[in-house]
Structures are given as C-alpha cells and as structure tokens.
Structure 1
Amino acid sequence: MKKKLLMTAVLSGALTLSSFGPFNVLAHDELGDVNVDKGDRAEYNDLAAEVLRGSKNLKYWHEVAAPEPNVVRADGKQNSFADVYAHKGFAYLGTHTKNGANGGVRVYDLKDPANPKEVAVFANNDIPGTWQEKVIVKSINTPDFKGDLAVVSVQQTNRANPDSKGGFLLYDVTDPYNPKKLGFSEVTKKTRGTHELYLTTQGNRAIVLTANPYADYYSHGEEKDFQIVDVSNPTQPKKLWEFDPRMLPEVADDFDGYFWKSPDGKTRPVFNHSTRVDGDYAYISMWDLGTIIFDISNPENPTYLGRTDFASHQQGSAHSSAVAKGGNILIETREVYQPLKPGYEKAFGYTRIFDIKDKKNPKLLSEFKTDLTTDIPDDATSSYSTFSRTVHDPKVHGNTLYLSHYAGGVIAVDITNPANPTEIGRYTPEKSDVWGVFVDRNYVLASDIGSGLKVLQKNNSGGNGNTGLQR
C-alpha cells in the first residue's frame, strides 16, 4: 500500500471548461470539455506543505490507507476518480473521465480500514463512452426486491456516439463481492445524462431523484432537469414526476434558454446539478436559482415550498447540499471556479448555512469562507479560472460538517452554532485533488481524483502514526 501523506490539520467534479451549444457560458458539466482531465493540480501542490493544525475533538485522526487501485482495463490504463459512498462496511468509489472513461464503480471491503481490499468493479462495461461519477447504496425492502441496492449515475462523454446513452444503472450489491445488474433508467440522449442522484425509501417503496442538466432545453421540453423515478422494482424503473426551473412562476417570464434574468438585473445560468432527500423533503441544487425545497411525501405530485437566493454580488453556483440539526439546518456548497468574474465578488466558492425550520422561507445564518476561497493571486486576471480552491461536496456527522475542497483536501467545520461555523480540522494529502468525502462508522473516507480512495481513522492510543486531524 502506497502512503501519500502531507496532511494539514485544521481535518476536519466538475469538468473543465469550454463554450458549448447555444450557451456561451461556463456553467459546469454540460458546458464543459470532458476530454480534459480535471485532476491536474500541479500548480497548487504547495497546499500540501502547510503546517499541522487541528482541534481536540479530532485528535489522533490520521490517514491509515491510500490503496493503489487495481488496473482492470485491458489496455492497462487507469481512470480518474469521482465520488465516494459507504454502506455496511464497504466503500463505493465512482470514476471520472481520464483515458476515455468507462471506469465503473470500485468496491472496497473496509473490514480492516487500514487495509482496504478492492473486491469488485461494476457498471464499467455496460454502456460505451460513459462515466460513472455518483453511486448511492441503501438497503430497501419492496414487494419486488429486498437487499442492498446501488444506483449509479451514467453520463456520456460524447452525445454523438451512437452506442452511448445517459441515465442511471441499478445493481444488486447485497453481496458486494458479486454485484448483479438489475436495470437501467434512460434520460434523453440529447443531454449528457444523469449527473448526480439520490436514492431514498418511502415505506415499501424506493425512489431515485435525478439531476439531468439541460434535459428540458435539449429535448425541447420532452424531459425535465429534475426527475423522480420509482425503482421499487429495480428491473423496471418508472418515472413518476419531473420538473424544470421554468415551471416556477417567479422564473418563467424571465427564462431564456437556460439563462434567468434575475431581479438583481443579472443574467444567470440555471440548471439542476444535484439532488438530496431528508425525510419527506427534497433539496435540489439549481445553480444560480439556489437550493429549491420540495415536499415529496407524495412523489407523484410534489409541492414546491421555497428556495435560497443570493446577494447581487454573489455568483450562485448552488452545487450540493446537506442537512443538519434534525432537518432544521441546510448546508449549501457553491462551486465557483471563476473568482474574478466581472460584476461579482472576488472569491472562489464557499459554503452557506440556512435556518430552514420554515421550509418556505430559508433564512441565511452564516457564510463559511476559508483561506482557499479568498486567497487569490494579486496578478490574477479576469481569465483566471480553476476548480482547485472552490468548495465541492458537504457531509454532516453530528455537529461536524465535512467539506471536500479539491486542492484543499477535506475541511472539518464545527457547526454546533450554525450562525458561527468554525474550522476545526483539515486533511490535505500530497497532490491533493479531493472530490468527495463520506463519514461512516469509525472512519472518514475521501476520494482523490488522481489517486483514489483515502481512509482516515482515529488512533485511540494517541500514538505517533501519520497524524492528520488534530489540534
């Protein structure tokens, strides 16, 4: 096992860019150039040389494993990596687009977190010319399926490829050593596919919420950006409901293509980037329209409740969300990678925290910024653009918020008082390019775009191991 470790400790993708189609705007994946690997962070590797800092409630955390992924491709090449998820002691690592994509999902047995064993790869040869970024695994019990179900996002690298298609795959991973394909839910080929998604249960029913960026535009209204799909029978997914931002009265009259003429006078990009569910509520990251909240207790007929909004000087870029405090607090991360965009503040993407006890009226409590988001070179020009320093994904465990931050690694934030979030830990591996973070059992997982899975664990003896999260 290869140890790569220069960690900071106060522990706790997205595609590169080009113009595309009718939009001359940089608005993440659909407008991005998937042929350029986003894992190149050479100019920011100095971030890994920061001194160790930390907090007593993260004392003795350290990186215990950074396993080299097995090469499973016939050509001997390796893919880059995307998000990470954990379920019942197994880690599920998605893949990005390097070397033509088709990397699938890698499964690691974490019985011994210090020695993860890669035990399976699935969804890698199902649909040519696609990449498998996001995987969610949950135990479900429906009349048609009982066991552990994995849903995997599928995105096309080239929509012109007649053999590819986008949507999401469904696998039985009750035995993680032997995943079995069950079904596929397809979204219009005119778009890239399903970017992010979420699996949840309602009684004896299982549903998937999908983010299909620009589906409405490219299908001329035949399909929508946000869809709810019943997967109670994973072999026969059934679409229940769909939504597009122009369906909101406050947006409809000022929506042109995928640009919204917002009340502050700015023309803002709007598309569905991510979905998340907590109880009966769905949180939909609609970029510059903010985080939209739905009541989905009736998934065939959800009710729109409210949304977050932005100050005129802020780029929106609502990327992902998490909830805390029993569903009363919303965490919203914003993937801003053009910190010098004319007409906006000088900053990369940072995190915002809302009181959502009244879901119809989210109230901003605080904004969490770090040196990563505000430290911009004095000689930077208006063309300065990078994903390196923006926040990416959030996860919450108790009163601790974990944020993946690309070159900044993973940052842990104390949100005991959501109005006053405080950085308490930071983990920055060598050549850091951390896409995702996940907290489970007695470990924290991180996924690095270039090098794969990282496992952080607590050393209760307080020994001198590879220190990562401490103060």
Structure 2
Amino acid sequence: MRATRHSSRSRYVTAAIIGATTISLSLWGATAAAAQNADLGEPNFVTSPNVRQVANVPATAPLLGGGARSSDLAFTGDYAIGGNYNGFTIYDIKHPKKPKIVSQVLCPGSQGDVSVAGDLLFYSVDARRSDDSCKSTAATDPEKYWEGVRIFDISDKANPKYVKSVETDCGSHTHTMVPDKAGTDVYLYVSSYGPSTSIARCKPPHDKISIIKVPLANPTAATVSSAPVVFPNGGNSGIPGSFPDHHVRETSGCHDITAFPEKDLAAGACMGDGVLFDISDRAAPKVIEQIQDNANFAFWHSATFNNDGTKVIFTDELGGGGAATCKPEIGQVRGADGIYDIVGTDLVFKSYFKIPRHDSEICVAHNGSLIPVAGKDIMVQSWYKGGVSIWDFTDSANPREIGHFDPLPSRIGPSGTWSAYYYNGYIYSNDGQQGLDVLQINDPLTDEAKSVHQKVFNAQTQYSLRHGNN
C-alpha cells in the first residue's frame, strides 16, 4: 500500500496543578495548553493514504524520564486517561484535533494499567513499593512491600484524589473492570504473574487471579473478595529455547483478561494458555475452554472479542515487548494475532494476522480494540515501533490490513505505541515516549463508526453496538 508522509512535531504542553489528595500526591505545577501540530521539519512517520495524524500531545514532566513510560488508555465522556509507569494523565478530548492536558498525577508503580467506572479510576501497580502511597520508593525487602491496585476519585478532572489501595498477591500487572448485574458494584479481575519462592506474597505456582469487589457508592470498602484458581491441573509447562527459535512461557498466572458482560464471557491471555471463562457469577468465573499453541505462540498477551462475542483475537507478545519480531526470519505467524471462532464453548483456530511490513525495531502484537461497524469485524492495534495497524477480520480465515500509522526510526524513544483504541470517531494511540497521538481513518469500511457515540470505554470491558453504553 502506498504510504504518505506527514510531520508530527508539536509544541510542548505542560501539566495542570494537582491539588491535595487523601493520600498525598506529589505535586507538579504548570499551566495546561492545547496541543498543536507544527508542520515543520522532516516527517517522522508514514501512513497509508486513508490514515492521518490530527494531533499529538508530547510526553511531558513529571511523566517523562526517570523510568516513566506511557501505557494503557481509558475513556470517559470528553476525557482520555493515559496510564504511565509513574502515574497517569487526564486529557480533555472534547475537540480531538486540539486535545489538552487537564491534570497529571505523579504516583509511581508500573505498569499503570487503567480503567474507569463512574467517577472512579483504577490503576494497576506491578512493582514492589515501600508502601501504598504516591511517595513510595522501590522496595528492597522481599518481606515488606506493597503492590496491587490504587483507586482514585476523578469527579474533578483537574484534581484527582487518591481514596483507596487494595493489595493483591503478585501485584496487578493488568486488571479488567467487570460490572455486576445490579449496577451497584464492579469487580476487578486482577492478572499477575512472575512468582518466586523469595517473594513473601508471590509464591509459586500462582495459578490464580485475584478479584477485587468495589462498591461504587463506597469505594473505600473495596477488598479482595476471592482468588479463584484458573489452572487447578496446571497450565502450560513451557518449552525452553533461545529466543526467537522456540520458547513458550510457562503459565504462572494470567497477563490480561477481556470481559464481555452481556454474553457472560471473558477471554484470558495467560502466558502459555488461552482461556474462555463463564462469568455469569462475577465473583466466581469458571474456565470453559483452555487452549495452547506451542508451535507458534510464545506468550499469550491479550484478548479482544468481536462485536457479537463470537470470535476472540489473542495476541502473542513474542520477545516480551522488547525485541524486533517483525523481521522476515521470524515469519508471519509468530509474534502475531491468532483468530479464533467461538463454536459452542470451543475456541476454533482460523488464522493468524501480522502487519505486512518488516521492521528491525521493537515490533510485536500489542493492545488494540474494535472499530464499531455493524456487520464487520475491524480492529485497530498497537505494534510498538511497528506502529498502529487497522485490519479487517470479518472473514476469520482471511484477515487483511486496511490502514496503518508507522513511526520511522527518527521518531526517538525506546518503546513505540503501547495502546491504540477507537473512541468516538478517532483513534488514540499512547506512545511510550512520544505522548498521545490522535489519528483519523477515512475509509468506506469504517466511516459508519463515526456515528457511534460511547459514554465510557475500557478496552478490556467490551459491549455490543446494541448496548446502552453506546
């Protein structure tokens, strides 16, 4: 596909003052300003003709440098929340071509996976900290530390307040917000892994997830309600080997779970296994299907349903997000997406999808979401420095890319795009070092999606087009 070059240099924006919070936050004062694209200098990305960048908000202190790295995204109303290894940023996206930073919270504890429910923001911490406060430091004592989920009140977007922490075994690498059926509580399915006999509250085999129950009217009462074992008979035992020839990660927990509450289903990407859950009882999910792909999948990283909940896309994060796996010698079926149809309770493999461009930088399948088009299965997805890909899997056996945004090596920064999600007519991409990119696709296949308005969006909590969330 012919590519079009654009410039993405922008004037820097600064952060608004964060006020006092229940648990002290580090403060960072400045004035928020609109992001502007400057059409100057050499272009540092290429796009397909149907994709263009309409804005960029550069990464800025205090969430720049010092171990900071942008991660996941969540959306509520006219706001986007960008997670970061050192905290989070709230953006005003009422005018997507002129997004503004409203506030930034400096509260270290990687990796900063975020989700929203009403006025509550949930933030994952998967790093042992000296305590649960935002002034904590990296813990060195394997017996005395804290990690888990922090809960913030974001009713005042310019002044988020830290209201509660909940500790979980092995921390919270990611979490999935699952509403209860009564609308009074939400459950957080906490995924974590990496147990060790030397860590006090993260001993092997760690074949479980933690479930936090959060009463929406009283979030300070949030607590771990259960810790169901996902793999009572053990998960994938792993296949050792030197990357990238053949190495399958041993299952010791899950990396990410995506829920489809309407269908009472969830899909889990659990290191060496793909899992389908029945979540009709939110507090006690049950495994109804467990699959492996030891020939081609090294690390089951994340999952996405199609709009009807009849398919699941699983991603393989070959190389752990730190290697160039889009090289010709790796091939098109490793470090890729696996497309599975749901037939009854079975996951039936149909095909793989991988971006059709070679890249010598860090490149592998990562976070993405559906573009809401009725009768079509179209996804936008991050590939680290492989950029953003828009692809159609309506025909499960024959997926194809229909658009892309591809950063060039001149776009400095070690990580590339972490998350790319479609929200109310635009694609928002959270780049590890380059800040928030706002993209727009103009294509007959996706134009219908521009009329779909969502009130809230968490990529790991999916709804059909018929649901009242839209």
- Matched residue, 1:177: 158
Equivalent in the alignment of 2:355: 370
Tell me if structure 1 keeps the 8 A contact 2:82–2:88.
Answer: yes
Question: 2:249·2:299 contact (CA, 8 Å) conserved in 1?
Answer: no
Matched, 1:413 2:413: no
Q: Is 1:92 aligned to residue 81 of structure 2?
A: yes
SS of the equivalent of 1:169 reads: strand
Q: CA deviation at 1:177?
A: 2.1
Deviations 1:413-445 (CA, angstroms, capped at 9, x unpaired)? 012222221100001235271111111112110
**Per-residue CA shift, 1:112-162, capped at 9, x if unaligned?**
11221111123x23xxx62242111133xxxxxxxx221110122655258
Question: In structure 2, the residue corresponding to 1:213 is in which secondary structure?
Answer: coil
Report matched runs for 1:343-382 at 5 Å.
346=331, 348-358=334-344, 360-372=345-357, 375=358
1:112 to 1:276, Cα distance in 2 relative to 1, 3 A: same
- Corresponding pairs, count: 365
Report the residue type matching 1:137 in the other structure: V
Give me the whole-angstrom Cα distance separating, in 2, the residues matched to 1:270 and 1:86: 31
**AA at the equivalent of 2:112:** E
Hey, what's the Cα distance between the residues in 1 that align with 2:103 and 2:73?
Answer: 15
Find the residue that maps to 1:239 and give its secondary structure. strand
Instruction: Give matches, 1:283-322, under 5 Å.
Output: 283-289=267-273, 291-310=274-293, 312-322=294-304
Equivalent residue number for residue 43 of structure 1: none
2:335 pairs with 1:335 = no
C-alpha separation between the residues in 2 aligned to 1:240 and 1:453?
35
Aligned letter for 1:391? A
Please state if 1:394 is matched with 2:376: no
RMSD: 3.3
Once the 2 structures are TM-superposed, how far is the Cα of residue 170 of structure 1 from its aligned partner? Answer: 1.0
SS where residue 417 of structure 1 aligns?
coil
The equivalent residue for 1:423 is 401
Query: Structure 2: how far apart are the matches of 1:65 and 1:322?
Result: 26
What are the residue-to-residue correspondences of 1:6-405 with 2, within 5 Å? 52-54=47-49, 59=50, 61-72=51-62, 79-96=68-85, 103-122=86-105, 124-125=106-107, 130-139=109-118, 148-156=119-127, 158-160=138-140, 165-188=146-169, 191=170, 193-202=171-180, 203-204=182-183, 205-215=185-195, 218=199, 219-220=202-203, 225-232=208-215, 233-247=218-232, 249=233, 251=234, 259=238, 268-271=249-252, 272-279=254-261, 280-289=264-273, 291-310=274-293, 312-337=294-319, 346=331, 348-358=334-344, 360-372=345-357, 375=358, 388-398=362-372, 399-405=377-383
Instruction: Give the Å deviation of 1:88.
Output: 0.9
- Give, in angstroms, the shift of residue 49 of structure 1: 5.9
The one-character-per-residue Cα deviations of 1:170-222 (angstroms, maximum 9, x if unpaired) are: 1122332222222111124xx4x211111121122211011121358653369
Q: 1:47, 1:428 within 8 Å by CA — same for their partners in 2?
A: no
CA distance in 2 between counterparts of 1:116 and 1:405 reads 23
The percentage of counterpart residues that share the same residue type is 22
Higher RCO (CA < 8 A, seq sep 6+): 1
User: Residues 327 and 108 (structure 1 numbering): CA distance in 2 closer, same or farther, change over 3 Å?
Assistant: same
- Looking at structure 1, the residues matched to 93 and 305 of structure 2 have their Cα atoms a distance apart, in angstroms, of 26
Structure 1 residues 376, 180: closer, same or farther in 2, change over 3 A? closer
- Deviation at 1:346? 5.0
- 1:391 and 1:238 map into 2 onto residues whose CA distance is 33
In 1, are the aligned partners of 2:354 and 2:365 still within 8 Å (CA)?
Answer: no
Q: Distance in 1 between matches of 2:188 and 2:88?
A: 18
**Preserved contact between residue 209 and residue 276 of structure 1 (Cα < 8 Å):** no
Distance 1:5 1:241, change over 3 A: farther
Question: 1:71: Cα distance to partner?
Answer: 2.0
Q: Distance in 1 between matches of 2:221 and 2:279?
A: 21
> What's the TM-score once normalised by structure 1's chain length?
0.69
Amino acid at match of 2:363: R
TM-score normalised according to structure 2 size: 0.69
Instruction: Give per-residue Cα distances to partners, 1:256-309, cap 9 Å, x unaligned.
Output: xxx589xxx9874213111221112222211112x2111121133322100232
Deviations 1:41-70 (A, max 9, x none): xxxxx99665x535xxxx4x4211111344
When residues 181 and 361 of structure 1 are mapped into structure 2, their CA distance, relative to the original with a 3 A threshold, is: same
Structure 2 unaligned spans of 5+: 9-41, 129-137, 241-245, 444-470
Cα distance in structure 2, aligned partners of 1:71 and 1:339: 29
AA at the equivalent of 1:72: P
Distance 1:121 1:318 in 2: 32
1:171–1:179 Cα contact (<8 Å) kept: yes
Which region of structure 1 is more displaced relative to structure 2, 296-305 or 322-331? Answer: 296-305
Distance 1:111 1:332 in 2: 32
* Cα distance in 2, alignment partners of residues 267 and 458 from structure 1: 36
Deviations 1:324-354 (A, max 9, x none): 13111101111012689xxx97565101111
Q: 1:71 to 1:323 in 2, by over 3 A?
A: same
1:400 aligned partner, one-letter code: I
Q: 2-side partners of 1:66 and 1:116: how far apart?
A: 8
Distance 2:65 2:239 in 1: 45
Alpha-carbon distance between aligned partners in 2 of 1:368 and 1:47, rounded to the nearest angstrom: 28
Q: Is the Cα contact below 8 Å between 2:6 and 2:45 reproduced in 1?
A: no
Q: Secondary structure at the match of 2:433?
A: coil
Residue 146 of structure 2 aligns to which amino acid in structure 1?
K
